[in-house]
Homo-oligomer: A and B are copies of this chain.
Amino acid sequence: MTERLEQFLVNKFECTSEEVSEVVKNFKYIEAAKEELLNEDGNICRNLYFVIEGCVKCNFIDANGQETIRYVAFENQLISSFHSFIKGTPSNEYITVVEPSKLLTISHTDFKLGLSKSSLFKDFYIKMLEITYLNNHWRIRTFLSLDAKQRYEYLIKNDKRIVQRLSNKNLSHFLGITQESLSRIKAKK
C-alpha cells in the first residue's frame, strides 16, 4: 500500500527506489472512517499522515461552537497538526477524517529516528516543509488581499478539488465565512 508515497517521493526527489523505500518503510498503513478523529484538540499530535485515498482536515471549534478549517489534505498530500508535532506541545485543533480514507502514518518517534539516521529522510523533511510553506504562503496572501467571493473564485481556479469535494459547510469553514455567506456568494455568480 505504499506505492503512492513512493511515487510521490520519486516525483519530488531525484533518487533511486532503494533510497525511497528507506523513507517509506517507516510508514504504516491504516484506514480511517468518516468523522474519525486522528487527533483531538488539547492532545499532542504524535503522528504525520500521508493520504493515499480520501480526505482529511485540520479543524478547530471556537468558544461559540463555530468550526474553522485550517488545512485540508486529499490524495498525495501530507497532513498533521504540525505545530504540535514539531514542538511536542498540545495541539489547538482536531485532525478529522472527511471522507473514508486510506492513509500512511509515521510516529514522531520514528520520524525523529529517521531524520537522525538517513540523509534522504532529512531531504524529505526539507521538501515537505517547503511544500507546506508554499501552501501557507498562498493561504495568507489570499486572506490578506481578497474578500470572500474572490477567495472562493481563487479556489475554483487554483484548487478545484477543494470546492468539488468539500460540502458547502466545510468549504465555508475553510474560507473563514459562514455557510449562509457561501450560499449567497454561489447564488450571486
Residues of A within 8 A of B (CB): 60, 62, 66, 68-70, 82-83, 86-87, 92, 122, 125-126, 129-130, 132-134, 136-137, 139-141, 143-145, 176
Contact = CB atoms under 8 A, between A and B. Distances in A.
From A92, A122, A134, A145, name the one whose CB has the most chain B CB atoms within 10 angstroms.
Answer: A145
Copies in the complex: 2
A176 B136 CA distance: 16
Contacts of A133: 82-83, 86, 129, 132-133, 136
A73 B92 CA distance: 25
Question: Ordered nearest first, which 10 A-B pairs have the shortest CB separation?
Answer: A129-B129, A136-B136, A143-B143, A144-B176, A68-B144, A68-B145, A83-B137, A86-B130, A139-B140, A83-B134
A134 B86 contact: yes
A66 B137 CA distance: 19
Contacts of A140: 70, 136, 139-140, 143
A168 B100 CA distance: 48
Contacts of A122: 122, 126
A35 B83 CA distance: 34
A62 B82 CA distance: 31
From A60, A68, A134, A144, name the one whose CB has the most chain B CB atoms within 10 angstroms.
Answer: A144
A106 to B, nearest CB: 16
Contacts of A86: 130, 133-134
Nearest to A128: B129
A14 B92 CA distance: 28
Contacts of A144: 68-70, 143, 176
